[in-house]
Structure 1
Amino acid sequence: MEIKNIYGLICVLIAMLNKSSSTILKRPKAGDPFDSFPKNFWEDFSSPFTEIPENEDGLLTESTTVHEPFPFFADFYTNMNVSAQIGTHVDLHCRVNDLQGKTVSWMRRKGDDLALLTIGKHVYSSDTKYSIEFLDPNDWKLNIKYISREDEGEYECQVSSHPPLILLINLHIIATKIEVLGETGSLYSDKYYKTGSTIELSCIISKTNDLNSIITWKHDLKFINFESLRGGISVKSESFSDHAVSRLYIANAKKQDSGNYTCMLNNESKATVTVHVLSGEYPAAMQHSGTIKYGMITVTLLLSFILFLAR
């Protein structure tokens, strides 16, 4: 019996040495020399070390705590700037990995106030310009239609984690500069032409990031039809690095060609000039806009001066 106990103690010492080198221990089986030890011996023996639970095979293994993955933004930034043109549509992207059942929401910030726009795949705002779309694998895209100046400001994408994740987007609105010039390149609100001459109007568009959009022309309230029976109507458009030009030509001008001519980009940004087609009145004014005004002013001043000398 003494030999049996000595043998058991030797095994315990070996077990202690093996424990420090992370060798997996087995509980004693029936018939082992130290099977006669009290049942709580192994629990006492493990103290003050961390208790190691058993698996299904009776092996003692170290326990590890597995933490739930935490959501994170796929992009490295949490603050970004986006620019959009008035009248266009803009997409705001929020890419979230390991969402783990959390909810993504879009909000509009105005000072200290937050207005809820979307929750998950549902639009909360009553404004129909907002829509939400999920793009695999992780993009919660907020779309804003028909951008106006009022849409400029801060937008937040929030993930309902603890603490919440917030992506801040600053939306900047670009106001297009659009002007209608005469053939001399001067800016006028009125243009005068002689019957039978060629009307030439130039539309200059700048301060825009949408130079490839179609530029359209209107005569009064109707879009100009370049294939109409009237004929003689043409347009030439060019795009440059910082501006675009659309030139409208109307050959053999007639009285009915008089009216307001409007150049438009995306049916939103526009500029208008009034064209007057005259039949012989003030022939000098038909070549250069504004000549009538300044000519009449000159005549008035000249008559005043003559009357002053005659006194």
Structure 2
Amino acid sequence: MTMRSLSAVVAAILLQLAQFLTATNIPIVKPFPGLEDLPKSFWHELSSPFTEVYEEESLATEIGATPEPRPFFEDDDSNITVQLGAQVHMHCRVQHLQKRTVSWVRRRGDELLLLTFGINTYSSDSRFSLNYEKPNDWRLLLRSATERDAGVYECQVSAHPPFIRTVYLSVSVPKVEIVDERGATAGDKFYKAGSTIELKCVVSKVPHPTGYVTWRHGSRMLNYDTTRGGISVKTDMGAEGAVSRLYIANANKKDSGNYSCALADVAATTVSVHVLNGENPAAMQHGRSAGLRAAFALTAALTLTSLLR
């Protein structure tokens, strides 16, 4: 330490002592014996501000040290959109971390839920874990994303104040529909025996479709079925979804039943197919409606009878 720095320290101590004696009304005749002949420049230093910053800067200058670099994130805040059921990596690349700690939290309004701290995972949800990638990427891994996982996630570096990088996660829920020739959703489909069954499945709201569209008749998969013959599946994948068509030639009674279209294990829908041997689908529907009306009338009559008793 230089003589100037030492003088400044001594001056600060003397000033605080003088203030203390004054505040306690202790008479001061010769407060600092032997120091009366100090030069005026010394007392000028005594009356000037003395701060911790001055001390740190003086020490750093004397030993030739440079301030420790502050940590920073390589990436800005980001928005991520993933498909329902997908695996998600949320990146957090930190430079100049030194001995500081990285943690991941999930924000819900004013509530913060700790997910990871350092290399340790604290979430009770086993789908979350830290998947560190050298040299400096503290990635948060989320497996099988659900709609409830959408929200705000923060990567925090322990500093004062803390450094925070925010990730906004959106989870897209696919929509799967089996439609008719006019694009309307079909609940029941009727075909004459010997005709070709044609079903059209439209998959939408999929940002990056990676799964296959599969067709099933009951529990039997039809995409690669060769036992019956005459079955073909054609699927066109697009930027935001897919259109898949199922063709079954020379339909017969055994082809009746429920047909489902599914995007991997994420979403599915079902349609009921009826293969008729000469029956009129309209009459069949009319007869079904008449039966429903009769059942309703019978229920109403029984209810009325019980009320009159």
The two structures have a TM-score, normalised by structure 2, of 0.68
The one-letter code sitting in structure 1 at the alignment partner of 2:158 is S
- Out of 237, 245, 248, which is 1:247 matched to? 245
Quote the Cα distance in structure 2 between the aligned partners of 1:240 and 1:125. 36
Aligned to 2:265, what secondary structure does the other structure show?
coil
The one-letter code sitting in structure 1 at the alignment partner of 2:66 is V
- Out of 251, 262, 265, which is 1:264 matched to? 262
Higher mean Cα deviation, 271-280 or 222-231? Answer: 222-231
- C-alpha contact 1:220 1:262 (8 A) present in aligned 2: yes
Residue 261 to residue 281, structure 1, CA distance change in 2 (3 Å):
same
- Out of 117, 120, 131, which is 1:119 matched to? 117
Q: Unaligned regions of 5+ residues in structure 2, if any?
A: 1-38, 46-53, 56-60, 291-309
- Structure 1 segments, 4+ long, off by >4 Å, are 47-51, 294-298
Quote the Cα distance in structure 1 between the aligned partners of 2:283 and 2:187. 13
- C-alpha contact 1:129 1:144 (8 A) present in aligned 2: yes
The one-letter code sitting in structure 2 at the alignment partner of 1:177 is K
Aligned to 2:113, what secondary structure does the other structure show?
strand
- What is the match of residue 191 of structure 2? 193
Residue 71 to residue 291, structure 1, CA distance change in 2 (3 Å):
farther
Q: What are the Cα deviations for residues 133-162 of structure 1, in whole angstroms up to 9, with x where unaligned?
A: 111221111121211111111111111122
Query: How many Å apart are 1:292 and its aligned residue?
Result: 4.7
Query: How many Å apart are 1:241 and its aligned residue?
Result: 4.3
User: Does residue 134 of structure 1 match 2:132?
Assistant: yes
Quote the Cα distance in structure 1 between the aligned partners of 2:283 and 2:211. 35
Aligned to 1:226, what secondary structure does the other structure show?
coil
Based on CA coordinates, which of the two structures has the bigger radius of gyration?
A: 1
Quote the Cα distance in structure 2 between the aligned partners of 1:247 and 1:162. 59
User: Does residue 293 of structure 1 match 2:285?
Assistant: yes
Q: How many residues align?
A: 236
Quote the Cα distance in structure 2 between the aligned partners of 1:97 and 1:262. 51
Residue 255 to residue 116, structure 1, CA distance change in 2 (3 Å):
same
- C-alpha contact 2:190 2:274 (8 A) present in aligned 1: yes
Query: How many Å apart are 1:187 and its aligned residue?
Result: 2.0
Q: Unaligned regions of 5+ residues in structure 1, if any?
A: 1-43, 52-60, 299-311
- C-alpha contact 1:87 1:269 (8 A) present in aligned 2: no
Query: How many Å apart are 1:257 and its aligned residue?
Result: 2.0
- What is the match of residue 72 of structure 1? 72
Quote the Cα distance in structure 2 between the aligned partners of 1:131 and 1:256. 49
The answer to which structure has the higher helix fraction is: 2
- Out of 189, 199, 202, which is 2:200 matched to? 202
Query: How many Å apart are 1:65 and its aligned residue?
Result: 4.0
Aligned to 2:145, what secondary structure does the other structure show?
coil
Query: How many Å apart are 1:279 and its aligned residue?
Result: 2.2
The one-letter code sitting in structure 2 at the alignment partner of 1:293 is Q
- What is the match of residue 29 of structure 1? none
The one-letter code sitting in structure 1 at the alignment partner of 2:73 is F
Query: How many Å apart are 1:80 and its aligned residue?
Result: 2.2
- What is the match of residue 144 of structure 2? 146
- C-alpha contact 1:262 1:270 (8 A) present in aligned 2: yes
- Out of 80, 83, 92, which is 2:81 matched to? 83
- What is the match of residue 224 of structure 1? 222
Q: What are the Cα deviations for residues 67-96 of structure 1, in whole angstroms up to 9, with x where unaligned?
A: 222211012x2x321111112222111111
- Out of 104, 123, 131, which is 1:106 matched to? 104
The one-letter code sitting in structure 2 at the alignment partner of 1:268 is V
- What is the match of residue 17 of structure 2? none
Residue 297 to residue 216, structure 1, CA distance change in 2 (3 Å):
closer
- What is the match of residue 35 of structure 2? none
Aligned to 1:209, what secondary structure does the other structure show?
coil
The one-letter code sitting in structure 1 at the alignment partner of 2:80 is V
RMSD of Structure 2 on Structure 1 (CA): 2.8
- What is the match of residue 173 of structure 1? 171
Quote the Cα distance in structure 2 between the aligned partners of 1:133 and 1:205. 32
Quote the Cα distance in structure 2 between the aligned partners of 1:120 and 1:218. 47
Query: How many Å apart are 1:99 and its aligned residue?
Result: 0.9
Quote the Cα distance in structure 2 between the aligned partners of 1:222 and 1:130. 35
Residue 91 to residue 153, structure 1, CA distance change in 2 (3 Å):
same
Residue 277 to residue 265, structure 1, CA distance change in 2 (3 Å):
same
Query: How many Å apart are 1:167 and its aligned residue?
Result: 0.9
- C-alpha contact 1:152 1:171 (8 A) present in aligned 2: yes
- C-alpha contact 1:212 1:239 (8 A) present in aligned 2: no
